[in-house]
Amino acid sequence: MQDKHVNEAAKIVVLPSAIRAAYRAEESQSIQKVIRENLLLTSTEPYCKVQVSVRHASDGRPESLTAYMLRSYTYTVDVRKVRVGGDYSFRSVDASYAATDEDVEAWPIPVEPKPVLKPRMVFATPVPEIPTAKAAVVYLYNMATLLGYKCIKLLGANASLANYQKYLTGHLWGFVNIGHGNTEGIVLSDGFLSYKLLAGAPKKHLWPEVIYFNSCQVFNAPLQPAIMAAGARTFVGGRVNLLIGPSEEVCKCFWTSILKKALPMGKSLVACEKAKYPTPGCHGISGDLGRFKPIP
C-alpha cells in the first residue's frame, strides 16, 4: 500500500501581490515547491489549501512568502513566513509568525467568489435606526436586484469593518455606504474605516467599483485620493456636510439614473443634486464620469 502524505494533494494558490498581478508558471512552480516541501509535507496537520502572498524587496526580488494554511477540519488558518532567496530558494521558516503592523493594515486575502454567487453590488448602512438611511438602502437593493444584479444588503451590525473590507476588495461593480464620515474615513458599526487602511490597498484592489459614500466631507484629502489610488473606477461623496434626508434622495436619484436610465454618472450626479438637494456643489465625483455600463 502506498504511503501518501496527508497534504500531498493540498492546493497551493499564489496570490497577486502589491507589485505583481500574476506570477509566471515557472515562478509559481518554484513557490509551490518551497511551500510543499517545507510546510505541507513536514506537517501532520491536514490542510485543504494554502494561499501564498509573495513579498518583494525594494529591487523587486522575492524576499519572503507568507503562507495562509487553511486547515481541513476546522476554520483555522495557520500563518507561516518562509524566507527565500532571489531565485525562490528556501532559507528559513518563521513558525511563530505574528502579524506586524504592516500586516495589520494590509487588506484581506482576495478570494475569488464563484461566478454564480458573486455579488455585484453592496448597499450598506451602519445606522439603520435612521429611517431615511435604511429606506434608501432597501430602495437601492430592491431596485438593483430587480434589474438583475446580485446584491448584498448590510444593515447595522453587519455594516462592519470586516464586511466592508471583504466586499470593497471583491471587485464589485457598485458599493454604497450611507452613514457618518469625515475627511479621514467613515464610521462603521464596530469602528472607523480610515484612509490609512485604504492607503495600504494595492493599486487595482477596488477596481472596477463605483463607490458612493453618502457621508460628510469624504470627498476630500486624505480619504478621496486614497480611494482613487486604491483603484476605484468612480468615487462619489460629500464635499461638505451632507444633510440626513435630502442626501439619500440624491443617492437614490443617482443610482436610478445610471442603472435604469443609463445616463452618464457625472451628469447624473449634477442633475440629481440640483433636483433633490437644497445647495449645489455639496457632492463630488471623480474618476470615470461616463455611463455605468459597460463595466470596464
Partner 1 sequence: MSDKHPNEDVPVVVLKSARGRACSAADRKAISRVVKEELLLTSMEPYHQAQVEVQLTKDGNPKALVVSLLRAYTYTADRVRINVDRNYAVRSIERASGGD
Residues binding partner 1 (CB under 8 A): 127, 130, 178-187, 190-192, 194-196, 214-217, 238, 241-244, 247
Nearest distance, CB of residue 156 and partner 1, angstroms:
11
Closer by beta carbon to partner 1, 174 or else 238: 238
The pairing of strands 174-178 and 283-287 is unpaired
Closer by beta carbon to partner 1, 17 or else 183: 183
Which residues, 6+ apart, have CB-to-CB distance to 45 below 8 Å? 69, 71, 78
Residue with cell 506586524: 100
Which residues, 6+ apart, have CB-to-CB distance to 276 below 8 Å? 246, 249, 250, 253
Nearest distance, CB of residue 216 and partner 1, angstroms:
4
Q: How far apart are the first and last CA of the chain?
A: 53
Which residues, 6+ apart, have CB-to-CB distance to 100 below 8 Å? none
Nearest distance, CB of residue 164 and partner 1, angstroms:
14
Nearest distance, CB of residue 176 and partner 1, angstroms:
13
- Read off the DSSP letter of residue 70: E
How far apart are the C-alpha atoms of 113 and 117, rounded to whole Å? 7
Closer by beta carbon to partner 1, 191 or else 281: 191
Closer by beta carbon to partner 1, 23 or else 255: 255
Closer by beta carbon to partner 1, 149 or else 192: 192
| Omega before 294 within 30 of 0, i.e. cis | yes
How far apart are the C-alpha atoms of 172 and 289, rounded to whole Å? 17
Nearest distance, CB of residue 88 and partner 1, angstroms:
35
Which residues, 6+ apart, have CB-to-CB distance to 275 below 8 Å? 253
Nearest distance, CB of residue 218 and partner 1, angstroms:
9
Closer by beta carbon to partner 1, 139 or else 149: 139
Asked if 219 and 239 count as a contact pair (C-beta separation under 8 A), the reply is: yes
